[in-house]
Structure 1
Amino acid sequence: MPGAAVAAGAPDEEPPRSPPPLPPKTGSLASALPFWFYLAAVVTVLALLLPHLLPSSVSPPLPPLLRLHISEGRLLKLHPEPDLFSFTSRPAAASASAAGHHPVLFLPGLAAGSFSFRRVLTSLSSRGILAAAVDLPGQGLSPTLASPHRTNPFREIKNRGIFHAFEHLVETGEVPFQEPAPEPSPHSQYAAAEAAASVARAVDALGLAPVHLVLHDSALVAGAAFVSANPAAVQSVTLIDATAILPAFPAAVLGMPVLGRMVVGVPTLFKGLLHLCCTRRVASEEAEAHRVAMREEGKREAVFESWKALNQSFDLKEWRSSSEAVRNLPIMVLWSGSWSDRWIDEGKKVAMALPGAKFVYHSGGRWPQEDAYDEISKSIAEFVTSLPPSV
């Protein structure tokens, strides 16, 4: 039968063969060579370019404008620290007596510093008003704060000995264990309460109290804390484009490892950043002075940590109603009326949170001390001299 024949012939069929092994790839090494060549070329180009883009460890010479500002200013040695840099512009004796006792104290915002307010201070003193500016801790020309203390394991071994734990176990039968103290956050040193306490010590050292306080930009939170803790030391408050959550200078950029160093290392980038975010008009020599001040050791990190320490939940309306002294405090708001529609809306929110406050638009940017200093000076002088002078 055909089926039987097929079945009978099945044992004579050859079993299927496995496919022959593939020959080894001889071109794998050659194909990898271009990748390593291009990688080496890219690394070489970066090694040649980065030293020119990133700032060197050598401190650059101070620009003449910044050197003059430092020579005419004063570093306040406060106890306890931190020390703060201050700049004071005093009027002539005759004009000062005519204007009465109306000392004005400026607290600059992030990255601005007293240097940016030097022309406002001079303009106020020409109007017979004593004007001063104090750089907040780690800001402007104030020294940067030391980083939090961290336990050194090698010093622990040196002090106690390498077999300290074993000897303690043999003697007592217990393993020595010490709960480590929680390390403070780096940006807690720049918190509003600590900054306000430093400002209070600076006001005492300068002998200005009671002052007309002017808060610029992000200095709002620290200044408000100072007013709440020292209501008798303040005659009035002026806010210059002040906000707790939207500082003009983009400090977050400084926290980026490469980009942050490039911004403070390349003059064109730094000036462009100021022009984009802070002021419409800034001279090259002034932008360079701001950049060199930012290149001080630890200053970039201090500005970044100060930005992180800002109290994002600060409520201006709640602060205004926090006490009788704050409720009765004369307040003026100076706000940019030409920066952007969004910023104008932000100013309207500030005005609504401060019932009874005087609201005035100015023509400058968010750093009006750079491009509208005389206009700012005139508005502040008119406001403070309209109030009864202090004794």
Structure 2
Amino acid sequence: MAIITEEEEEEDTKTLIPPKDSDFSKSESTVKKKNPKPQSQNPFPFWFYFTLIFSLATIIFTSLSLFSSHNDPRSWFLSLPPALRQHYSDGRTIKVQVNPDESPIEVFVSESGSVHTENVVIVHGLGLSSFAFKEVIQSLGSKGVHGVAVDLPGNGFSDKSMVVIGGGDREIGFVARVKEVYGLIQEKGVFWAFDQMVETGDLPYEEIIKLQNSKRRSLKAIELGSEETARVLGQVIDTLGLAPMHLVLHDSALGLASNWVSENYQSVRSLTLIDSSISPALPLWILNVPGVREVLLGFSFGFQKLVSFRCSKEMTLSQVEAHRILLKGRNGREAVVASLKKLNHSFDIGQWGNSDGISGIPMQVIWSREGSKEWSEEGQCVAKSLPKAKFFTHSGSRWPQESKSVELADYISEFVSQLPRSTRRVTEEPIPEKVQKLLEEAKAGGDHDHHHGHGHAHAGYTDAYGLGEEMTT
């Protein structure tokens, strides 16, 4: 028993002997390798990349939302400054048809003064609008003249683009092509595409693109030349019943409206040219240069410098900003640039002014005396080309309508007052054949009833125009 006990003690003693330092270090390292402690990570890179990605996504979505609302009429109108919204509220829109094969568009018109007085119609040049002449027509109204300012299509509050159905052979990207093919297969069904593949041995891509192009809707900027301007002016004047009237043309409006004046000189009582030229004062060609156009129309500072250098140094910052907003919004830039290409730069003002019909119109030329030397010389050339026209100078720049509105209104109203009062031509519209037949039947029935002593036969007159309930016979 003692031996067994001693052996147990020896075993216990062996188990109680502490290991050596080297053995302890080895075992400790083994434990560390088996159970490593977690190291603390730096959170800075994660939050940096997260913030960067979130910021980029916010910028992209914001830009897309702004781009989508850029051409939305309601969003664009609500973003306008109060002066522009008030100007729109004070005016009216008229439906006109620029080309016979196109849908009608809306033209904005601003008026001031009594309609029973002399009518003065003001047409602006490219890049401007009726907003520039709001103070002029208000001053004319206070002087007893009915002032009307028209926004030519592509400018101001008039329509600047139209919806075109059918894209023709317009090139589109790969993604757009895939979407169109997928959309048509969804519309026609998978079996339609399969049948076409069996018959032709190939995917009917050409037919798919042809069908999609015929249904594609896109916006096309309105291109305004002299012929289009003539149609617009004729419809506006006829709709408002302004003829005969006194016409005022500013800047490049001379080249745009010259055809209409030549064809309708009987309706023009007088003609006033304010710093009129074939090329607009605002260099619109620069708005077709990528990069430059974004800077000029995107920032007030750049556009103000351009206007101050070429058009007017007297305009306030709010006035320049209003013109920038109207020129930028709703595809306005595209419209004026397209219209600039259609201007007749070979227009001869002397030949036009001395032609039959035009030479008999009382005419005055109002020119800037504060412009450059070259511009003053051009004014002298215009005066020599139109020897029958009265020549005056004003104290403003090439865009004097806002800073010198009272001065211009004085020139116009005084010139109009020196002429004999206009006689309005009232034309009766023919009564439709169906209405005329109803009137004759009602009249015949009335004569018959009067012979029999009945006095209610005329009850059918108002019913013929849809104002009554029944026709009594």
Using the size of structure 1 for normalisation, the TM-score is 0.74
Q: Is the 8 A contact 2:365 2:392 kept in 1?
A: yes
Offset of 1:271 from its aligned partner? 1.6
1:143 aligns with 2:159: yes
Partner of 1:85: 108
Classify the secondary structure of the residue corresponding to 2:304: helix
Aligned counterpart in structure 2 of residue 291 of structure 1, from 324, 327, 336: 324
Offset of 1:321 from its aligned partner? 2.8
Equivalent residues in 2 for 1:223-372, closer than 5 Å: 223-245=257-279, 247-323=280-356, 325-372=357-404
In 1: Cα distance, 2:118 partner to 2:350 partner: 26
Offset of 1:189 from its aligned partner? 3.3
Q: Is the 8 A contact 1:218 1:243 kept in 2?
A: yes
- Runs of 4+ with >6 A deviation: 50-53, 153-156, 161-164
Q: Is the 8 A contact 1:264 1:295 kept in 2?
A: yes
Q: Is the 8 A contact 1:74 1:85 kept in 2?
A: yes
Q: Is the 8 A contact 2:111 2:147 kept in 1?
A: yes
Greater relative contact order (CA < 8 Å, ≥ 6 in sequence): 1
The letter for the 2-side match of 1:207 is G
Offset of 1:188 from its aligned partner? 8.6
1:123 aligns with 2:157: no
Partner of 1:205: 239
Residue by residue over 1:151-179, the C-alpha shift from the partner in whole angstroms, topping out at 9 and shown as x without a partner, is 158899x79x9979x98xxxxxxxxxxxx
In 2: Cα distance, 1:385 partner to 1:248 partner: 30
In 1: Cα distance, 2:366 partner to 2:244 partner: 21
Residue by residue over 1:232-288, the C-alpha shift from the partner in whole angstroms, topping out at 9 and shown as x without a partner, is 22111100000113x111101111121112211101111221111111111122222
Offset of 1:226 from its aligned partner? 1.1
Classify the secondary structure of the residue corresponding to 1:239: strand
In 1: Cα distance, 2:370 partner to 2:332 partner: 31
- Structure 1 187/224 Cα, relative in aligned 2: closer, same or farther at 3 Å? farther
Equivalent residues in 2 for 1:20-35, closer than 5 Å: none
Partner of 1:378: 410
In 1: Cα distance, 2:222 partner to 2:302 partner: 30
Residue by residue over 1:212-232, the C-alpha shift from the partner in whole angstroms, topping out at 9 and shown as x without a partner, is 000000010122111112122
Q: Is the 8 A contact 1:103 1:212 kept in 2?
A: yes
- Structure 1 112/188 Cα, relative in aligned 2: closer, same or farther at 3 Å? closer
In 1: Cα distance, 2:364 partner to 2:97 partner: 32
CA RMSD of aligned residues (A): 3.1
Aligned counterpart in structure 2 of residue 64 of structure 1, from 67, 82, 88: 82
**Unaligned 5+ residue runs, structure 1?**
1-46, 168-185
Offset of 1:82 from its aligned partner? 3.5
Partner of 1:35: none
- Structure 1 350/62 Cα, relative in aligned 2: closer, same or farther at 3 Å? same
Classify the secondary structure of the residue corresponding to 2:162: coil
- Structure 1 265/187 Cα, relative in aligned 2: closer, same or farther at 3 Å? closer
The letter for the 2-side match of 1:333 is V
In 2: Cα distance, 1:310 partner to 1:188 partner: 14
Residue by residue over 1:47-106, the C-alpha shift from the partner in whole angstroms, topping out at 9 and shown as x without a partner, is 9xx9999x9424461111101000101111124634211100124xxxx87xxx421000
Q: Is the 8 A contact 2:154 2:223 kept in 1?
A: no
Classify the secondary structure of the residue corresponding to 1:125: helix
Q: Is the 8 A contact 1:188 1:309 kept in 2?
A: no
Offset of 1:150 from its aligned partner? 3.8
In 2: Cα distance, 1:232 partner to 1:205 partner: 17
Offset of 1:129 from its aligned partner? 0.3
Classify the secondary structure of the residue corresponding to 2:135: helix
User: How many percent of aligned residue pairs carry the same amino acid?
Assistant: 37
Q: Is the 8 A contact 1:249 1:278 kept in 2?
A: yes
Equivalent residues in 2 for 1:181-220, closer than 5 Å: 189-220=223-254
Q: Is the 8 A contact 1:187 1:308 kept in 2?
A: no
Offset of 1:293 from its aligned partner? 1.2
In 1: Cα distance, 2:66 partner to 2:110 partner: 29
Q: Is the 8 A contact 2:252 2:278 kept in 1?
A: yes
Q: Is the 8 A contact 1:63 1:288 kept in 2?
A: no
**Unaligned 5+ residue runs, structure 2?**
1-55, 71-75, 99-103, 171-176, 201-219, 424-473
The letter for the 2-side match of 1:276 is F
Q: Is the 8 A contact 2:96 2:235 kept in 1?
A: yes
The letter for the 2-side match of 1:338 is E
In 2: Cα distance, 1:79 partner to 1:112 partner: 21
Q: Is the 8 A contact 1:212 1:237 kept in 2?
A: yes
Aligned residues: 315
